[in-house]
Structures are given as C-alpha cells and as structure tokens.
Chains A and B, each alone.
Chain A
Amino acid sequence: MAERSFAKEVEDLKLGEGDLFRGEGILAITKALLQSGVAYVGGYQGSPISHLMDVLADANDILDDLGVVFQSSASEATAGAMLSASVMYPLRGAVAWKSTVGTNVASDALSNLASGGVTGGAMVIVGEDYGEGSSIMQERTHAFAMKSQMWLLDPRPDQACMVNLIEKGFQLSEASNTPVMLQVRVRSCHMTGEFECKDNKRPEFTLRDAMDNPERDLGRIVLPPAAYEHEVEKIKVRMPAAIDFIRDQKLNEFFGPTGKEKTGKTGLIVVGGMYNSTIRALQFLGLCDAYGNSRVPIYVMNVAYPTIKSEVDAFCEGLDAVLMIEEGQPEYIEQSISTVLARTKSPTEVHGKDYLPMGGDYTAAVLTEGIGRFLEDHEPKQLGNRAPVPDPVPILTNPVIERLGEVVPARPPGLCTGCPERPIFAAMKMVFEETGTHHVSADIGCHLFSILPPFNLGATTMGFGLGPASAAAFNVKGAKRSISIMGDGGFWHNGLTSGIGNAVFNKHDGVFVIVDNFYSSATGGQDILSSRALNKRRNTNNSIVDAVKGIGAKWVRQVDHTYDVTKMRDVLNEALTTDAEGPKIIVASSECMLNKQRREKPKVAKAIKGGQRVIKEKFGVDEDVCTGDHACMRLSGCPSLSIKELDDPLRDDPVASIDDTCVACGNCGEVADAAVLCPSFFRAEVTHNPTGWDRFRANLSGSVIRYLQDRREKRAVSFEA
C-alpha cells in the first residue's frame, strides 16, 4: 500500500472530450497516456516520478477497462526492456522512472531499443531530479538522448502543453521509428494546473493481437551487419523524419514579436522547462507582462533534442545575438545551436553559459541577472529605464540577519518517528563503541539517513542496490570486516545478484545487512516481492532469507523484530567475529512505521470506539531522573524524542522529553537498556475499555501502593508554608 492514495483523484482520469481537468502534473501525464491509446505502461518508482507509479497502481481498474497492461517493473532496466513490445508491433507503450539514476540502469536496454528502432510509439517519461530538493548526482538526461539518438521532449510547465506533447510524442515516435523521452522536472510533476480533456482511447492493436500473431525481423536485432545499418538508418532516415514531424506539427513555439514587429537585435532560445522562470525574469526586467507577452522574441524548444536547423535559422534571422537558456552542464544545446549557425556562417552570435551559471537551478533571480547582463551588452535599449529588480541583498547583509545565519540550525531529513531502521543503526553504533569503527558501505533508501547525525555511519553510496557490491574490494581475511547495508528495495532491484551473489561466488568475508521493512519505503511505500501484505494484483510474501540461501549463502541470520536492540547488537557482534567462511548475512526485518501506523491507527480508534479492550502505549521520560546528558539522543534522532527546558533554577541543561507523536516503537527503552544509559525512560500503557479482571487487579495493587506511598510521604520533611 503506497504512502499516498490517489483513489479519489484517479476518478478524474475518466473525464472525456471537452471536460476540464484540474489537478497535479503527474495525473495530467497519466491522463495524456490514456488519451494516447497506450497498450502497456511500466516503470520504477523514485522521486519525482513515484507518484506517477502510485497513480497508475490506484488507476488499475481504469487501466483494465481500457485494456492497458500495467506493471510495477523490477527495475528501470526491466522497464526499458519492456518497451521492446513496440519494436515489431504497432503497440504504444510508456515507462517512467527517476533520472538520471534510472536512465543509467536502463541504458543498456535503451541503447538496443534505439538502435533497432520501434514500430509502435515508445515513450520514456523521466523525472529529471535536478536542482533544489534533488536527492541524486547532478547530471543531465540530455546526454542519453543524444548518445542513443532518442528524441528528448521538454515541455513548457503548462499542463495543456505537456499533454499535447505526450500525444504528439507517440506520433513522433512512430513517424521516425525512434523511442522518445519526455523530461519533467520535480516542480512540474507536483505542479497543479488544468487542461481540456479528450476521450481516453483503447489501444487499436492489443498485446493479445501481437502475442497471437508473433512476428520477427532479423534487421531489427542489434547484430552485425544490422547494427551498422541501424546507424545509417538513424542518420539518413529517422533523424530527417523526426525533424520534418517536429517542424510540421509545430512542437516548438515562437513567442514575442515576429515578422515585421521583430525589430530588436536580440532573442532568447529557451528549453521548454525553463520557460516560466524566463518569463518571470523578463517581467522583472520590464520586458514582458504577467501573461507572457514579451518584447523580446523567444524560441521555445519543447523538443530539446534534436535541434531543428530551419527553425533556428528563421529565428536568428536579423538578430545580432541570441542567449541560450538551458539548465545544467555541459551546455549541449548551446553547442548544437553554435554548430548549426556556424555551418552556414550566420552572423548571429550565440551566448549561453557565458552569461548564465554553468550549474545549479535557473531560478528567476539567476535568469534576471544573466538576461540583464546579456541585454546590457547586446541591446541595452531594451532595458529602458531599468526598473529596480527584486533584491534581497540589502536585507541579507543587515547585521541582524547575518547573526541569524549563525543561529538557524541545519535540518537534514532523517528517519521517521518509530522507524524500524533506527534500532539497527543504534545497535551498530554501540558495536562500534566497543570494537572500534568498521568500513561501512551504504546504499540508497531511507537507511541512507544513517550517514547523517546522530548515527554518522556509512562511507560511500554507489547506487541503488549496490551497497554490498561497493564493499567487494574489501575482502581481506583477518582485517576488520567491512559492513555493507542494503534495503529490501535495492535487494530485489539488483542487489541479490550484484551484491549477495557476487559475495557468495567470491567468498567475501564481509557482513551484509539487508534492511527489510516490507516496502519500497523511501519512494512512498510501494509493494515489492517481499512485502508481507497481500496484494491481489501482485505476488508478495517472497522471503529474502530464502532468496539469499537459494543463491548459496550459508551464514544467514534473521532478526524479525529490529527493535530488540540487544539482539541486533549481539547478531552484529557475532557476524563480525564468527569464523564462518563466506558472506555473513543479516536480514533485519520490521515493518515501515509510516505504513504500519497508516493501517493500524484507524483500526485502533475504531476498536476503542467499539468498546473493545485496547492497550495504547506511549513512551515517557522521568524528568527528575534524566540528567540532561542527551546520550539517548545520540543513539536515536527520533523526531518525537526531543528536549525541554525545566523551570528549576538548580538545573542548567534541558532534559529529554517525548511528545504526543510517539508511537511506542520501544527504541528509547531498548537503547537505554542495551547501552546501559539510564533508567529515565518508561512506557506508559493505558488500557481502554478494561475488563472486570483488569479493574480488580488495578484496584487491588493500587490500594497497597497508595498505602505504602502515603506512609512514606507523610514521614518526609515538608516545606509547606
């Protein structure tokens, strides 16, 4: 069950011709796929595309009605290879993933797909995770599009434009026998907006049609001599066909003065995704109104690759200089435009990264500065009376604000309240306090938060499911054993073979911790092979322990309740010290608390309301026992465990305190016990709707306890006035 439910929103996917759709970008994308008549969709979750997978999962009934096959792919490579259904058959298909990481994984399949070409429209929707809020390396998907020759669509952040480009993208793919990539940035995926709908289309040619009438063509398979022919075909046939289609269908757009009105000497070339920020920058410079009526000519490349020479030539006609606006590096498009113009000895100068920063977000502020300088140099008349642009610098350099900069603490993301991974890292930190630190290879997933305070564990992360693989070199007997960590998501994505299989085969001596929280949690709680929930559309409940044993691992321990910190620590200690040969594998399992709470909380509330006996638990701290040393914080980092100042003038330091969001996972108490920290923690257990026996027992012990308390407290010296 995914973290966010779109059960209500997917109803909008049924809207028909002329209806107005209003909602988030990812839903608009899904709707566009249905309007395009796709026969199959697949993909792998990851921000900003996770919600697209959630929407598709929640829309499964709608997809069934339309005869669309939807798969939660095992990896991006699987999803990429899935597109091969469009090679021989006129089937439209789309897959989605986070990029560039997902594209990296899929690139083998994509290269083969792009070489042989497609018959049916094939589209890869990539969530371009670049700039603020990104969780991955800063690279451009553009490179993949160029190297494999796949057309790259980068629509303006406007839902009507995005939807149109998806529909046209399938046609483009078919017209040029080439797979197409559609790139959407983080903010566009989660951007609300509206567009006018069309009816959904059932695929004209179905998967069943293809399967019942299989076809093959040696010329489409990547083997010599066909592979050489593919290259020629790419250059001689597919590229020209694509260029004609893009030009004829006007996928790129021209804004601002055209024809006779185009009297200025400068222009802007903008990739679609940068359009809104560019318009805002022009507005700040007094060159455009809020509705996009610009005084500077703008050529919007909704198709970022390939470059359409005739359009570039026409746009640059009569201009002294153009500024290319594309985010990230290298400046592929600027280079391409320069080449195009240089070949015909065009007098128009091409600028770009000489005025704009090579890397980082192209915010309106960055663009205002860059475009402003470009115009100052090439057409200062345009800037007119130079109205003041928004400028926070005077306020940011105020001494009061500068002091604030030293006060505001960083707030990195961390494990959620009650996260079952917290006790694993608490145990590991305790082991390291006894035995010294070991080399730790981290992976991608929630568990990567271990690299941050308070745990500070993990030296490298080399990619999803590659934690164990990245410890491969550290296979030296007698040295301090390396530890590698991998989540269940990464395990099934590729880690079973790339990490565990590799370690078994090479008789690796290290320790391998597989964090099993029953979901692909970091991406929003999607089900995977080892999920323990029953999912009527998927086969779940496949054991990780069985899988690693199946691949040949001998030393395998499962901790089925990670909150047992003492046990977790002992197992880690054993793994680090045992004489057993080969990889030492620990499967640490407990359910993701976010998912568990979402399921259990309403159930508990209902049971209490219904008069059933329910024990609700919460942890607390005795503030008189807590000495304010915060040793527990350094083994926790739980959002519900905080500190508070006391009113007691005798005490200097704030004490630990647990707020109402505590879910009683037990980590605090277990850690206090296992690390022998202090007796401050307690678990409060409130029995709702107690039985007669509960009440009898409580009354009996209560009266004895009260008697003893009274006796002691009466004798005490009293400072009552």
Chain B
Amino acid sequence: MKDDTVKLRLKPAGLATERPISIAIVAMGGQGGGVLTGWIVALAEAHGWVAQSTSVPGVAQRTGATIYYVEMMRPGAGGQKPVLAQMPTPGDVDVVIASEFMEAGRSILRGIVTPDRTTLIASSHRSLAISEKMAPGDSIADSSAVSDAIGVVAKQEIVFDMNAMAVRNGSVISSAMFGSLAASGTLPFEREAYYDVIRKGGKGIEASIRAFDAAYDRTTNGAEPEPSDAAATAPPVAALPDSLRDKRANALLTRLRAELPEQAHAIAYLGLQKVVDFQDAAYGAEYLDILRDLTKTDSAANGAEHGFAFTATAAKYLANAMAYDDVIRVARIKTQSARRQRVADEVGLQDGQVLNTTEFMHPRMEEAASTLPAGLANWLKSRKSLYDWLDRRIDKGRRVHTYRLAGFLPLHFVGALKVIRRKSLRHKTEVAHRDAWLADASQALACNYDLGIAMLSFRRLIKGYSDTHVRGHSKFDKVMQTAKSIAARDDAAEWAQRLLTSAIKDPSSKDLDGTIMTIESFSST
C-alpha cells in the first residue's frame, strides 16, 4: 500500500512552505541575552509583525548555559496570526547569536546551526568554564575546534570579539550583537528601526548606539588589520640584541652567544634575564655555566641532529628552577614600581584618586626558617620548643598595606635579604633538587633523546607555595620515578609525556595514579 502512495505528488497545503524567521540566542545566565531578546521582539512588533520570545530562566540564570528563542512572522491575509513555536528545532533556525565562543560551539552541537539556512553571529571572546579553570595546568578548551566547525556548518558567519568592542564603547555585549544582527541582513528591517528600539529601551542609549555602530561597521567592512592580530602571529621569542649598555649584562650576552647553540639563544636569553633579575649577574653566570655543560651532554647525544632541543628545553626549565618562588622574590615583586603601575592601570586609576593595595599573606615558620643561612636554619629546626614558639608568632594571616610605610618597609627589607639568599637553607635544597633532576635527564638523554627532554619538562609540575608546592614535588617524584623505571623502553618518551599530561590535568592525582598503574602493569609482564 505504501508503494502506491509514495509516488503521489500532492501539493503542499496552502502556505505550508512559508515559515517564520527563527532566532536563537545562546548565552550564559546574566549576560544580557534577555535584553537582546526584548529588542528583537520590539523591532519586529514595531513593523506590525507577530513576534514571540521564550526563555528558560530557572537555575541556568546563575551563570549556566541558557537559550532564548524568538520567532517572528507577518500576520496572514485577514490578520490571521501565525502559530509560533516555543523552542528551536535543529536544522530549522535562521539566525543563531552566541554571546561567547564555546557557547557558539554548544549551539552547533545542538544542531541549530546548519549550512542551508543559518547565519551564525558569535563573539569570539572566551569566558572559561569551571572545568577549564580547575585543572592544575593548562586545560583551556581549544577554540580552533569551534572555528573549524563554524566553517563547516554556518551559511554565513559573523565572528569577532563583540565583548571587547562593546567594552571599548562603554556598553555591553548585547548592543554589539544587535549591531551585527542589523548588518547581517537577515531581518528585513532598516538600520534606523534598530536605533528606535534602542532609544525606547531608555538606559545607556548613547553608549549602546556607539557599540551598535561599531559592530555594524565591523560586520559590513570586515576586520581591520589590528595590531593585536599581528602580535599573535609573531614568533613568540624575540631576537637577541647586538649589544647591551649595561656591561654586566653585555658580558653575559656575549657568553651566551659564544657558548650555546643558536637554537637555544632566544629562550636562554629570556631565561638569563629571569635568573639575573631573581638574584644577580653572578647567578646569571651560573645559569650559563650549567647550560654550557648541558650543551656538551646534548652534543654527545647527537644534539645537532635534534636541533639542540635538549639545551633549549633546559634553558627554559632551568631558569624556572633557579628563579624559585621564595619570600624574597615575592617581597621584591610586590614592592617594584612597575607593579604599582600595573595595578593602577588595572583599576583605571585617575588623577586625584589615591591607590592602596592590601596583600593577603600567610607566611609560615618553614618559609621564614628556610630563608636563614642553612646552618642557623638547621640549628633552629633541631630546637623544637624554640621553633614551635617562633612558629606560633609567625604562622598567621597578615594583611599588608603595600603603599603605606608600615607595610612597604618590612616588605622592602625582606626583599633586601637577597644578599644572604645563596647561603640559605632554601637555596641549598633547591640546588640539590636541581642537580639531581638535571643528572636524571642527562642520563636518560644518552639512550633516549626525547625522554631526556620529557624529564626536563617534568619541572613544570613544581609550582605553588606551601602545601601546593609540597604536592607538586611529590607529583614530580612520582612521575620521575616511573619514567626512570621504564627508561629502557622504546616508547618511554611517549609514556613520560602521558604521565606529565595526566599529572597536570587532574588536581587529585587520580589520573596520574591510573597512568602509573597502567605502566606498572605492562612493565611487570
């Protein structure tokens, strides 16, 4: 029976093919999606169209992902009203407006962006989800996946940082998105009509119109070559200067150029500056000494064939290892003049206003003792009652007012302790750890070049202060031990990389322990 009827060519009923214009706005709760929705409805109604908007407030309003939906259509002959749907149908949406880039990605996954009909208007800025922020390392979602997908699914795409544009014009993102919608040509209304809607809204009209115009022009004319775009494509490491005015610096630069392979120059130069800034020129010389020795190891392991990647990687992580985070470094950073300027810029300090900052510090006896010369520190540690007595006086939260003398002077004094730093217990501990780490990596390098590099990069796990720092160390130890245990395997470097990745992604060490168990299972068979 079916076969007979399939071939029947029936005309569609009446105006069935005429459908309303559908617009979905995907946003995060509290981001102004409601304002934009209201504007679009007002715009349509001002032209005698029937428009209907729906939303799902509820808990999503509290910063979660949410969606607003608008349909609009002319009344039929004789004023017949269309029946409008209350939610978008995948494959049947004309315009999708996304107020954040990953939300644009989510809208694509919902199937509401399709190549036959959807114009996608999306702001390219990111507002990070909690899962991206929580990982102890870099877990920021890859925006290029969204860009790639937009290229595949959108009939027309309008993508730029609408948030930044709105902020530049003293407004909020909804104004910029409204401007892009106007310029997209997807709705049959004149630009003037959009202004009328904004003007009726009442609040911040001028700023809204400025942002609207900027977005409209940007959408119509495409991107202007922006300096920030150029910076993004520039090589990350700058070239070395020919010479430096400061003789002490220049001597170091000359050494660097003479003793290190060219491939490591740029990164070593940055490392050198960091190390010298941390301590002094002599410490910079020490940095170069170590790198020079590592270059020899590298060469012995056929480093030239590998582009001296080992030396370059060492230059990066050695600088971080040498410029460890002690109280002296923190005190010096907090009291720098550049730091005050950065804070002033961040808060938009204007003439006639007074700036202060309050630091939230919680030094412990451990940090205080480790700053002392090693002998004195060890003596203190052996006198338990004295140590505990001091601990009770030191271990507490302190609010330090940096730009008042009572706060600045102590910080400045702690910064001056740099002169005794290289005798301190902390320095001794750091040097011992550093030497062991480099020895391990050098040893691995001899039989597996990539494993040597991977071991250098394990240093990335050591960060944070107090307990976090301790946990970082224990992760480092676990990863290093495991990597050493499989050093003989051909795929040791890949496993080392996997160890590092799982250690970085998961704060609880569960992933890491899982990876270690996998490794142990195959090494025991």
Contact = CB atoms under 8 A, between A and B. Distances in A.
Contacts of B137: 628, 630, 652-653
B95 to A, nearest CB: 15
Interface in A1-59: 22, 47-48, 51
Contact of A629 (B16, B63, B347, B468): B468
A677 interface: yes
Interface string B127-140: 11111111111101
B361 A673 contact: yes
A633 B349 contact: no
A412 B472 contact: no
Contact of B9 (A384, A395, A674): A384
A190 B56 contact: yes
Interface string B9-31: 11111111011100000001110
Given A291-B83, A401-B152, A695-B354, A407 B276 contact: no
Contact of A688 (B145, B353, B402): B353
Nearest to B81: A291
Contacts of A359: none
A624 B329 CA distance: 10
Q: Which of B19, B141, B284, B356 has the most CB of A within 10 A?
A: B356
A148 interface: no
A334 B19 CA distance: 31
A186 interface: yes
Given A187-B86, A395-B115, A628-B463, A405 B64 contact: no
B358 A682 contact: yes
B354 A620 contact: no
Contacts of B80: 291
Given A135-B59, A643-B128, A363 B87 contact: yes
Contact of B337 (A134, A649, A690, A713): A713
B354 A694 contact: yes
A563 B402 CA distance: 22
A293 B14 contact: yes
A705 interface: yes
A133 interface: yes
Contacts of B249: 717-719
B13 A289 contact: yes
B360 interface: yes
Contact of B15 (A186, A279, A291, A384): A291
A706 B337 contact: yes
Q: Which of A624, A628, A675 has the most CB of B within 10 A?
A: A624
Contacts, number: 435
B14 A289 contact: yes
B297 interface: no
Interface stretch (B100-108, B211-219, B425-433, B483-491): B100-108
Contact of B73 (A193, A290, A392, A630): A290
A401 B106 CA distance: 10
A687 to B, nearest CB: 4
Given A290-B83, A414-B63, A682-B343, A191 B337 contact: no
B316 interface: yes
Q: Which of A675, A686, A697, A718 has the most CB of B within 10 A?
A: A686
B303 interface: no
A694 B58 CA distance: 46
Nearest to B91: A390
A624 B52 CA distance: 51
A395 B90 CA distance: 11
B55 interface: yes
Q: Name the interface size band of chain B.
A: 35 or more
A642 B128 contact: yes
Contacts of A717: 246, 248-249, 276-277, 280-281, 284
Interface stretch (B267-275, B374-382, B516-524): B267-275
B49 to A, nearest CB: 12
A101 to B, nearest CB: 12
A66 interface: no
A629 B128 contact: no
A478 interface: no
B38 to A, nearest CB: 8
A416 B62 contact: yes
A473 to B, nearest CB: 28
B244 A719 contact: yes
B245 A365 contact: no
A605 interface: no
A333 to B, nearest CB: 20
B347 A686 contact: yes
Contacts of A449: 62
B270 A292 contact: no
B372 interface: no
B184 interface: no
Contacts of A706: 337
A133 B91 contact: no
Contact of A283 (B16, B53, B63, B330): B16
Interface residues of A, number: 147
A379 B412 CA distance: 87
A653 B138 contact: yes
A449 B2 CA distance: 53
B132 to A, nearest CB: 6
A380 B2 contact: yes
A404 to B, nearest CB: 4
Nearest to A290: B82
Q: Which of A134, A616, A627 has the most CB of B within 10 A?
A: A627
Interface string B249-287: 100000000000000000100110110110011001000
B207 interface: no
Contact of B19 (A190, A283, A697, A698): A283
A679 interface: yes
A223 interface: no
A708 interface: yes
Interface in A566-590: 566
Contact of A291 (B82, B87, B141): B82
Contacts of A275: 83
Contacts of B6: 380, 386
Contact of B134 (A193, A386, A634, A653): A634
A665 to B, nearest CB: 13
Interface in A447-504: 449, 452-454
A409 B132 contact: yes
A536 to B, nearest CB: 27
Contacts of B439: none
A454 B320 CA distance: 29
Interface string B49-73: 0011111111111111110000001
Contact of B130 (A361, A381, A453): A453
Contacts of B423: none
Interface in B451-476: 460, 463-468, 472
A295 B128 contact: no
Given A384-B10, A411-B102, A133 B66 contact: yes
B267 A650 contact: yes
Interface in A415-470: 415-416, 446, 449, 452-454
B339 interface: yes
A514 interface: no
B135 A48 contact: no
Contacts of B130: 412, 414, 452-454, 633, 637
Contact of B89 (A129, A390, A675, A694): A390
10 contacts: A51-B57, A277-B87, A413-B29, A415-B63, A453-B130, A634-B507, A653-B460, A653-B504, A716-B277, A717-B284
Given A676-B467, A717-B281, 4 more contacts: A410-B129, A625-B325, A639-B63, A686-B355
Interface of A: 22, 47-48, 51, 129, 132-135, 157-158, 186-188, 190-193, 275-277, 279-280, 283-284, 286-295, 361, 363-365, 368, 376, 380-381, 383-387, 389-393, 395-396, 398, 400-401, 403-416, 446, 449, 452-454, 522, 566, 616, 618, 620, 622, 624-625, 627-631, 633-634, 637, 639, 641-643, 645, 647-654, 668-670, 672-679, 681-690, 694-695, 697-698, 701-702, 704-706, 708-710, 712-713, 716-721
